[in-house]
Chain A
Amino acid sequence: MTTTTDAAPPVSPRALTWTRRRHAVARFWRQYRGHRAGLAGLAVLALIALTALAAPLLVGAGSLSVTAAPGGPLEAPSAEFPLGTDQFGRSLLALLVWGTRVSLTVGLLAAFLSVAIGTLVGITAGHFKGWYGNIIMRITDWFLVMPTLVLAIALATVLSRSLWTTVLAIGVTTWPTTARLVRAQTLSVESRPYIERSKALGGGHGHIMSRHVLPNVMPLVLAQTTLVISTAILTEATLAFLGLGDPTIVSWGGLLQDAREAGAVSSGNWWYLAPPGLAIAVVALAFTLCGRTIETVLNPKLGVSR
């Protein structure tokens, strides 16, 4: 990087910005590497993501069919079916691998939706202070005190049963925390002199929000996204368990609901119940560990996971 800047004296401001950002990312990664919990979380996530991507290769389409299932109903773990079979005779290992896709998809989409709403609301509320910011923050505060789970359950009940409903229900109930964080950060960024300079040079609202405030709140948003994903995955499982998910889709929460309906609890079929819940916990924990590590690196004063 230094060679290019030395060789070409009239370096464009854009290139300079990108060099600075590359350095910041490298510095961030050097610090992140120092946290073992964060690295462990990242490794687990990489493994899970790989499983989700390779699921169609690992699991034949036939093994998910209810009518042409390979095994007998509710078989205990064996060499052929390492985790046993469900009430239709499908291999539970295949279902578990397939469920990775739904949990990750819903988790990522819902978190993205939630953080996008939160960031938009937070930046605009911090930028346009007057009556707009006041009203928006009133609404945010009101959403903040609504019991998230109850509201998500209500929305999932009201709308039709599909993957998108779950994403929507989680997305629109979890954004207020992000909005509050982003607004606080926006206020602190906008009080700095370079924003005034930008205004004096004729920078409009859109320019200031997208070019100056957004890059500054992005690291915070990243940490928040990772934390929201783990919440979203847990909420997805909860909704599916309550029978509010899409019944045609194989998901971890749905597997747990199937297990309960098949009487796995009263007959003591722990091998049916244990793996899906464990998978949910591992993925949620991995995202939480990454999120906390990112938070610690960005803001060492927080003192988490030291």
Chain B
Amino acid sequence: MSTESTPALLKGAAGVDAVRNDGPAPAGPSARGPRARSTTAYLRYAAGKLAGAAVSLFAVLVTSFFLFRLIPGDPVKQMTGGRQVSTEQIAAMRKEFGLDLPLWQQFTEYCGKALTGDFGTSYQFRAPVMDKITEALPATLLLTGTAFVIYTAIGIWLGARSAWRNGSAGDRFHTAFALTLYSVPSFWLGLLLIITLSVGIGPIPGLFPTGGMESGSESGFAYVLDVAHHLVLPVLTLVAVEYARTLLVMRSSLLDEMGSDYLTTARAKGLRDDLVRRRHAVPNAMLPTVTLLFVNLGNTVAGAILVETVFSWPGLGGLFYQALSVPDLPLVQALFFIFAAAVILMNTLADVIYPLLDPRVGR
């Protein structure tokens, strides 16, 4: 999602810095030898990160509850939608959704239930929020997962090639092209793709469906093909606006590695140029990129809101947009929490895994 553009580029870098700065202090003299010492130090470091994540998650839970209470208007009035209702009916509805309790009691109840995975009942669907979310989750995971794999692969591959031929025409073209797509609003790109490839302009016929995830009439293998057919345009949109970030980070981290002594050694051994790149330079340059990948994965789920809205994709993003327009408080709260939790968990995972991948950090 390009709206979260450049700062997020730096988020990746900031994440790495965090690992380097907050890394465990070298443990004092110990009789157990270096290996045991580093393991305990790592465990202490990981535990610290996990505790921090738990605090963040709780803060998000609190925010999700109070932020949306600020929306002006009475949810019950919104639900009845101007129909004639008696005061008894309104009171009954308030009781049904727990809106008759004092705010702090609503809050403690919300937190208690959220811990067991119960986010209350949706106002507009009159169904448990968790049911709606588990219904929409597979669609979102399919869309963002596919897009993530593709843009990561493209970003790393093109980024490595660009850096290796730094300053060449190919490098300049790929960097410029990626930056241009990066500046494009994803929803606009989606709409344009629908116009050109789904509706069709002039002689071009509509090649792809305009939205949704399935036609509804297929089964078995035909169903898989049908979903894949629906998946093409949304994935294309997400990949186009997202791959630049990976490309740029991969490019600059490989540029950092170039000119290192070990690459000269590898060349002196007589290795072919692309072997030097693939076996020696790229694996080292991948390390900072890994942090970014996790950050990306967390952000893509929230970033898909627009693409899902434009393509009527039945996922969490579309659900969030629907819930906001009502506003359906329990659903909005739960989705807000889930989007934020995805980012927090992925960041924590990156922090915890990074020292294992890069022995120079935090050991």
Q: Write the residues of chain A forming the contact surface with B, with a CB cutoff of 8 angstroms.
A: 37, 141-142, 144-150, 153-155, 157-160, 174, 176-178, 180-181, 184, 227-228, 230-231, 234-235, 237-238, 241-243, 253, 256, 259-260, 264-270, 273-274, 276-277, 280-282, 284-285, 288-289, 291-292, 302-306
Contact = CB atoms under 8 A, between A and B. Distances in A.
Contacts of A285: 179-180, 182-183
B5, B166, B176, B343: most-surrounded residue (chain A CB, <10 A): B5
Interface stretch (B6-14, B115-123, B225-233, B260-268): B6-14
Interface string B165-186: 0110000000110011011110
Given A145-B343, A231-B3, A281-B185, A256 B201 contact: no
Contacts of A256: 185, 187-188, 191
Interface stretch (B150-158, B248-256, B272-280, B352-360): B248-256
Contact of B210 (A141, A242, A266, A274): A266
Which 7 pairs between the two chains have the least Cβ-Cβ distance?
Answer: A277-B188, A147-B302, A177-B7, A284-B183, A285-B183, A303-B255, A227-B6
Given A150-B302, A266-B199, A277-B192, A242 B309 contact: yes
Nearest to B303: A149
Contact of A228 (B6, B184, B255, B305): B6
A79 B210 CA distance: 32
A268 B179 contact: no
A142 B56 contact: yes
B344 interface: yes
Task: Give the interface SS of chain B, mostly helix, strand, loop or mixed.
Answer: helix
Contact of B70 (A149, A158, A260): A158
B183 A288 contact: yes
B47 interface: no
A291 B6 contact: yes
Given A154-B68, A177-B10, A273-B195, A148 B184 contact: no
Nearest to A152: B3
Nearest to B198: A265
A129 B306 CA distance: 40
A144 B199 contact: no
Contacts of B17: 180, 184
Contact of B166 (A148, A267, A288, A306): A306
B3 A148 contact: yes
Contacts of B362: none
B208 interface: no
A6 B342 CA distance: 63
A147 B71 contact: no
Interface string B282-299: 000000000000000011
A294 to B, nearest CB: 12
Contacts of A157: 68, 71, 324, 327
